[in-house]
Structure 1
Amino acid sequence: MKYNSVFDIIGPVMIGPSSSHTAGAARIGKAARNLFGKEPTWARIHLYESFAKTYKGHGTDFALVGGLLGFETDDPRMSKALDIAKEKGMEVEFIEDNSAANHPNTVRMLIGNEKEQQELVGISIGGGKVEITELNGFELRLSGNHPAILIMHNDRFGAIASVTKILAKHEINIGHMEVNRKDVGKEALMVIEVDQNVDDAILKELQSADHIIQIAKIVS
């Protein structure tokens, strides 16, 4: 499957009733949509623990779908997101998953269309804040509090150096960086938090660096 990878995290202003179960859920949904790069035509949403028990009463269901529709957390349409998604032909399935989770407010979102799909795990940690902990099988910990670049690359010598050289040339300071790979020599994911938003021209230059497959950015 081909995976797209452009996403950002949205702000804390919200339509209620709950910052953790509504605003946080909307932020996770919006992250999933922007990662996918377009509005999906279907979504399978696994809810765990507290999310699974209260998602209807606390608005987690419509908030997640509202995020997939691209709504901001304070969008007045948020409470009608399920109806709007149905009108647009988006097929949404909620699954109350009994599997154990590391956090009670955890959701696994599989979204896609007829050609491609993507998987994301997010948790709502309170006050509308979220963390993205998994992306297409790669573990990560991303809050969206700082601008960041996500780079899918081949696990080869020189890939990291080629990226950091370009960032240094443009005087972009790295605040935090982590690299994760599924296996030696296979695909790897580089997550770089930086001190300022990165222009698209720099992303294009990074895309041409050694062993780079795909690039996404998060704006602050």
Structure 2
Amino acid sequence: MKKCGVFDVIGPIMIGPSSSHTAGATKIALLARRIAGLGYQHVDFYLHGSFQATYQGHGTDKALIGGILGFEPSDVRIKNSFDYAKKVGISYRFLPIDLEDAHPNSVKIVFHYPDGTSFYVIGSSIGGGAIEITNINGTDVTFTGEQPTLLLKYKEQKGMIAYISNALYAKGYNIDLMRTIKEEDEVLLIVELNESLDPDLYQTIKNGKSFLFNKYIDTKEGI
């Protein structure tokens, strides 16, 4: 039986009106921002399902802009997020998309950088302010950002999982969940921990091997 927490009963602390359409949208965009990295000048929001149908009336648009600016769901600045985006020189568009079997409250967020590159994240607001990231730049994933998480993408090779596991074990960390997603000769390793990762250990891990992509997401930093 699933344990019921306080947020399952009373919902998240947030700027309204909807936990799914505002709090959830803010959290998706905030987490996407941290996955993609800073330095973007333009962001396209491709809205799916009910996000697309009601995004203006429910404040989803302001919530998404607030998230990519680094605002948390309870931040009162979300109400004026369009103005804040203009002040920092970030442009944006809201566009419709059909993500097929995705949750109705889903969005594809595409970050555009000055050098012409882009990076996208797809996420869903699944109710009560809870979210799920389902795709990172073309790789299907499943994680919530509720726990400290390591995302490590690399060319398939022997010993990589042992390398990560041993590095964490040597410093006394417990791995709550570890899973791999393989596409051809590339592997995305998702590692969820039960406590924050020491920055020096993260540097040691990512510098010890060759990664195509690496990111550490700490729940204490906004999600």
- TM-score, structure 1 normalization: 0.89
Name 2:182's counterpart in structure 1: 181
Distance 1:106 1:66 in 2: 16
Deviation at 1:155, TM superposition (A): 1.1
Shift of 1:99: 4.5
> In the alignment, residue 117 of structure 1 is paired with which amino acid?
S
Q: Distance in 1 between matches of 2:89 and 2:110?
A: 17
C-alpha distance in structure 2 between counterparts of 1:39 and 1:52, whole Å: 27
- Greater shift in the superposed pair: 85-94 or 164-173: 85-94
- Aligned positions, number: 208
Q: Aligned partner of 2:209: which letter?
A: D
Deviations 1:82-117 (A, max 9, x none): 222123221101112244232110100101211232
Which residue number in structure 1 is paired with residue 189 of structure 2?
190
Matching residue of 2:198: 199
In the TM superposition, 1:79-94 aligns within 5 A as 79-94=79-94
Provide the secondary structure at the position in 1 that maps to 2:108: strand
Q: Does 1:32 align with 2:23?
A: no
Q: In the alignment, is residue 60 of structure 1 matched against residue 60 of structure 2?
A: yes
Match of 1:170 in 2: 171
User: Is the partner of 2:208 in helix, strand or coil?
Assistant: coil
Identify unmatched segments of 5+ residues in structure 1. 1-10
Percent identity of equivalent pairs:
35
Counterparts of 1:59 and 1:78, CA distance in 2? 9
CA contact (8 A) 1:203 1:215 kept: no
Q: Residues 212 and 162 from structure 1, CA distance in 2 versus in 1: closer, same or farther, beyond 3 angstroms? A: farther
Deviation string 1:121-163 (CA, Å, 9 cap, x unpaired) is 0000111110001111111111122211111222111211111
Distance 1:137 1:18 in 2: 29
Is the partner of 2:164 in helix, strand or coil?
helix
CA contact (8 A) 2:31 2:145 kept: no
Show CA shifts across 1:165-216 (max 9, x none): 11111111111111112212xx321100111110110001101333434421
Q: Aligned to 1:15, what secondary structure does the other structure show?
A: coil
Alignment check: 8 A CA contact 2:66 2:81 kept: yes
The separation in 2 between residues aligned to 1:76 and 1:171, in whole angstroms, is 39
CA distance in 2, matches of 1:15, 1:153: 39
Return the alpha-carbon distance in structure 1 between the equivalents of residues 56 and 42 of structure 2: 19
8 Å Cα contact 1:21/1:51 also seen in 2: yes
Code of the residue aligned with 2:125 in structure 1: it is S
Paired residues of 2:24 and 2:125 also in contact (CA < 8 A): yes
Does the 8 Å contact 2:125/2:131 carry over to 1? yes
- For residues 156 and 95 of structure 2, the distance between their equivalents in structure 1, rounded to whole angstroms, comes to 35
Distance in 1 (alpha carbons) for counterparts of 2:73 and 2:39: 17
State TM-score, norm by structure 2.
0.88
Rate the CA distance shift 1:152–1:175 in 2: closer, same or farther, 3 A.
same
| Corresponding position: 1:138 with 2:145 | no
SS at match of 1:133: strand
Q: 1:17 to 1:98 in 2, by over 3 A?
A: same
